[in-house]
């Protein structure tokens, strides 16, 4: 199949949707085109300090690894019906620079200060547009859906880490630094208990509303455009899908939203699947992983966890998935083998992918309460992130201990977790 060429469209045919730490997303809004209609364009970003490192224009660049990663790795772990389609598109530097001029002002100011579209990329990703062409679509970023087991935690952290989830500790840490907070706890959303799921959705709504839509754990899109709580058209769209009498009373909308979405999530296996993948892949916690790393490579010079380890090739990822689906579940994770170090490092990276993904929830029809759910944003994580995550983990726990908070998070799926009982 001949690759799509971005120059077959105009930069003004694309509308800014949203972005994360590594990619930025635009939705096609131009004339009907077989290859581009009903698709979004995912482009890689680059920090400003490295944006002048021009790539060799004569060097053939590989496809975006996101495509191969989903086709060869993620699709082995997640049924295809829960995944968007991904295909490669050939980019053009002049076209990308024009897009920056047109759409950079649509991005949040904080993002613009940090990074920009990598205009030197020759290939990007076209993905199924899960939010365009619909009156409403919702994005939830669930985050960490489990508590770690005791056996690899230090005496200083075990009581805290097995009582309070990572997200709630991290949120407390962020709020101390001036960020807008939320009462949302992922363990409520992952609980499979209707009352707790509704509580989580209610907290997500409250955080979205009180932050004026700036928190990224819940986002609403109306006709492909991300909207904020003060958007009257959004409120009307919510009323059409969540209330029988089309009431625009915000408290009524909030309760209906939590009720209908709770049932949709309970009827879907997506959250249970994500929770299982997260907890079985991160079986040692970052503390146990660091301990195994140090014991296995005691004399190896390094600048932190994973710093001396090369990133896995796609072939290694494919081999890892085979091991994960067979032998991995029979290993003695209580006493991890040094010979399995690389597998554990890769497992933690893959767990991080599932901790950082989002789910898109969209109505199947005009029928109230009928939804389709897809999982998106499953990027490959790199080994050089492990050291930063280890350091952040220590900072979060140290801060939370000093805060003397009495919060307790309940992991209803923890019984029978692999490795320690």
pTM of the model: 0.88
**Domain 4-129 = CATH 3.30.200.110:** yes
Owner of token pair 């980019």 = 91
Q: What is the CA radius of gyration of the chain?
A: 22
- List alpha helices for 211-284, DSSP H: 232-242, 250-267, 270-281
The per-residue pLDDT string of the chain (421 residues; one tens digit each, 9 = 90 and over) reads 678 899 999 999 999 988 888 889 999 999 999 999 989 999 999 988 765 554 445 455 666 788 999 999 999 999 999 999 999 999 999 999 999 999 999 998 888 989 999 999 999 999 999 987 667 889 999 999 999 999 999 999 999 999 999 999 999 999 988 888 899 999 999 999 999 999 999 999 999 999 988 888 999 988 778 888 888 887 887 887 777 667 677 888 888 889 889 999 999 999 999 999 999 999 999 999 999 999 988 766 566 788 888 999 999 999 999 999 999 999 999 999 999 999 999 999 999 999 999 999 988 765 555 788 999 989 899 999 999 999 999 999 999 999 878 789 999 887 544 434 3
Name the strand (E) or helix (H) holding 287: helix 285-296
CA distance 206 to 250: 11
Q: Where in the chain is the domain with CATH 3.30.200.110?
A: 4-129
CA distance 22 to 17: 14
- Listed residue (225, 222, 226) closest to 239, CA to CA: 222
Q: Write the DSSP string, 116-182.
A: EE-TT-SEEEEEE-SSTTSS-EEEE---------STTS-TTTHHHHTTS-HHHHHHHHHHHTT----
Cβ atoms of 89 and 3 closer than 8 Å: yes
Cβ atoms of 361 and 373 closer than 8 Å: yes
Residue 82: CB partners within 8 Å, gap ≥ 6? 270, 273, 373, 374, 375
Q: For residue 333, what pLDDT is reported?
A: 95
- Listed residue (121, 169, 113, 93) closest to 403, CA to CA: 169
- List alpha helices for 49-143, DSSP H: 65-69, 75-77, 93-103, 109-114
Q: For residue 368, what pLDDT is reported?
A: 59
Neighbours of 183 (CB within 10 A): 16
- Listed residue (356, 359, 337, 358) closest to 283, CA to CA: 337
Q: For residue 418, what pLDDT is reported?
A: 42
CA distance 55 to 2: 24
Please report, for residues 208, 242, 243, the alpha-carbon distance to residue 249 in angstroms, rounded to integers and kept in the order given.
16, 11, 10
Q: For residue 355, what pLDDT is reported?
A: 97
């Amino acid at each position: 199949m001949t690759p799509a060429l971005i120059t077959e469209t105009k930069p003004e045919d694309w509308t800014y949707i949203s972005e994360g730490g590594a990619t930025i997303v635009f939705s096609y809004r131009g004339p009907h085109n077989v290859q581009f209609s009903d698709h979004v364009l995912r482009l890689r970003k680059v920090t400003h300090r490295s944006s002048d490192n021009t790539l060799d224009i004569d060097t053939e660049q590989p496809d975006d690894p996101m495509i191969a990663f989903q086709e060869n790795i993620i699709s082995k772990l997640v049924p295809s019906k829960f995944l968007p389609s991904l295909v490669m598109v050939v980019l053009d530097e002049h076209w990308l620079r024009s897009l920056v001029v047109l759409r950079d002002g649509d991005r949040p100011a904080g993002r613009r200060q940090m990074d920009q579209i990598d205009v030197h990329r020759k290939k990007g990703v076209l993905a199924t547009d899960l939010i365009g062409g619909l009156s409403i679509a919702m994005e939830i970023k669930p985050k960490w859906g489990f508590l770690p087991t005791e056996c690899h935690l230090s005496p200083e952290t075990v009581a805290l880490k097995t009582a309070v989830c990572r997200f709630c500790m991290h949120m407390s840490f962020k709020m101390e630094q001036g960020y807008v907070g939320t009462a949302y706890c992922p363990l409520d959303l992952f609980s499979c208990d209707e009352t707790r799921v509704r509580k989580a959705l209610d907290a997500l709504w409250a955080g979205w509303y009180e932050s004026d839509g700036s928190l990224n754990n819940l986002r609403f899109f109306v006709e492909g455009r991300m909207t904020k709580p003060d958007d009257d058209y959004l409120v009307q769209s919510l009323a059409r899908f969540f209330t029988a009498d089309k009431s625009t009373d915000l408290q009524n909308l909030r309760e209906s939203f939590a009720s209908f979405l709770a049932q949709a999530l309970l009827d879907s296996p997506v959250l249970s699947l994500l929770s299982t993948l997260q907890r079985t892949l991160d079986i040692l916690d970052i503390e146990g992983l660091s301990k195994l790393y140090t014991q296995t490579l005691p004399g190896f010079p390094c600048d932190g966890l994973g710093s001396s380890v090369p990133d896995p090739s796609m072939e290694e990822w494919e081999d890892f998935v085979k091991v994960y689906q067979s032998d991995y579940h029979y290993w003695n994770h209580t006493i991890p083998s040094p010979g399995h170090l690389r597998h554990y490092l890769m497992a933690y990276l893959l767990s991080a992918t599932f901790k950082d993904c989002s789910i898109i929830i969209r109505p199947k029809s005009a029928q109230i309460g009928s939804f389709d759910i897809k999982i998106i944003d499953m990027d490959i994580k790199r080994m050089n992130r492990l050291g930063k995550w280890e350091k952040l983990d220590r900072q979060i726990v140290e801060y939370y201990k000093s805060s003397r908070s009495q919060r307790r998070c309940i992991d209803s799926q923890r019984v029978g977790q692999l490795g320690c009982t």
